[in-house]
């Protein structure tokens, strides 16, 4: 067993418009196989990935939003969202499909600085 | 002119540029990540409301639904499906995609 490092995945893109959100999610799921200390941060348009009620039939794309709810099953339980990013978009915690910790920019900055590895999507 | 914006107003300045350069009486269609600009309570709301006094604003419903924001659309924005998109393109003399 190797060394456990603190990994943070920073999600900054809206879903569907680009492939970043889906690719990021795939990498997060892969990371679960390596028994690392994984956390996910949602900032900027990344908060849109977590909006409840996504229905993608009309755009013929895969709705991958239910996968965020399954992260718990992979022992990925450290999910953080930036309060300022939510507010700017007229969203609140109740609009999101996962239980998540809402942090101020300052708190998130601190958490980010304490990581061994930060990967951005 | 039909102006088409497909970028989030928080990620690119496409919408801002469009609103600055679109002539009164033109049509604006928000698609893909551009539909986030059509939602209530957001930082983009004020700019879009101003624009609605000058432009007819549409948003593509399947893109709103995919993103879970179909229930948050600003009053006065008309929702269209893909057929409506085609009609808009046909009834306008020209169109511009703000990439």
The string of pLDDT tens digits covering residues A68-102 is 999 999 999 999 999 999 999 999 999 999 999 99
- Of A48, A24, A50, A52, residue with least CA distance to A38: A24
Residues B2 and B88: beta-carbon distance below 8 Å: yes
Number of domains composing chain A: 1
Say if A93 falls within a structural domain.
Answer: yes
Residue A114: which domain range?
Answer: 6-120
Q: Does A89 touch chain B (CB under 8 A)?
A: yes
Read off the pLDDT band of B47 (50, 70, 90).
Answer: very high
State the average pLDDT over residues B11-38.
Answer: 97
Sequence-ordered list of residues with C-beta below 8 angstroms from that of A92, at least 6 positions apart, any chain: A86
With beta carbons under 8 A apart, name residues in chain A contacting B7.
Answer: 17
- Of A43, A97, A76, residue with least CA distance to B67: A97
Give the tokens for residue A29: 């799921």
pTM of the model: 0.94
Say if A116 falls within a structural domain.
Answer: yes
State the average pLDDT over residues B78-90.
Answer: 98
With beta carbons under 8 A apart, name residues in chain B contacting A48.
Answer: 8, 36, 67
Give the nearest partner residue to B62 out of A59, A88, A90, using CB atoms. A59
Residue A2 is predicted with a pLDDT of 80
Residue B54: which domain range?
Answer: 2-98
Q: Does A61 touch chain B (CB under 8 A)?
A: yes
At A65, which CATH number? 3.40.1260.10
Number of domains composing chain B: 1
Residues A52 and A68: beta-carbon distance below 8 Å: no
Sequence-ordered list of residues with C-beta below 8 angstroms from that of B20, at least 6 positions apart, any chain: none
Say if A1 falls within a structural domain.
Answer: no
Residue contact A45–B66, C-beta within 8 A = no
With beta carbons under 8 A apart, name residues in chain B contacting A69.
Answer: none
At B87, which CATH number? 3.40.1260.10
Give the mean pLDDT of chain A.
Answer: 96
């Amino acid at each position: 067993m190797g060394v456990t490092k603190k990994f943070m995945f920073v999600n900054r893109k809206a879903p569907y418009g680009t492939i970043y959100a889906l690719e990021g999610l795939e990498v997060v799921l892969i990371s679960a196989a390596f028994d690392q200390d994984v956390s996910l941060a949602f900032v900027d348009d990344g908060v849109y990935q977590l909006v409840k009620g996504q229905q993608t039939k009309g755009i013929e794309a895969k709705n991958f939003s239910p996968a965020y709810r399954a992260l718990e099953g992979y022992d990925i339980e450290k999910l953080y969202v930036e309060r300022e990013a939510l507010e700017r978009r007229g969203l609140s915690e109740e609009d999101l499909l996962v239980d998540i910790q809402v942090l101020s920019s300052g708190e998130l900055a601190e958490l980010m600085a304490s990581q061994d590895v930060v990967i951005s999507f | 002119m039909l102006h088409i914006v497909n970028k989030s107003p928080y990620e690119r300045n496409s919408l801002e540029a469009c609103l600055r350069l679109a002539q009164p009486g033109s049509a604006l269609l928000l698609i893909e990540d551009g539909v986030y600009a059509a939602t209530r309570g957001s930082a983009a709301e004020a700019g879009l409301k101003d624009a609605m006094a000058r432009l007819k604003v549409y948003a593509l419903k399947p893109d709103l639904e995919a993103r879970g924001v179909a229930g948050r659309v600003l009053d006065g924005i008309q929702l269209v499906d893909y057929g409506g998109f085609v009609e808009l393109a046909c009834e306008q003399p020209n169109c511009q995609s703000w990439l």
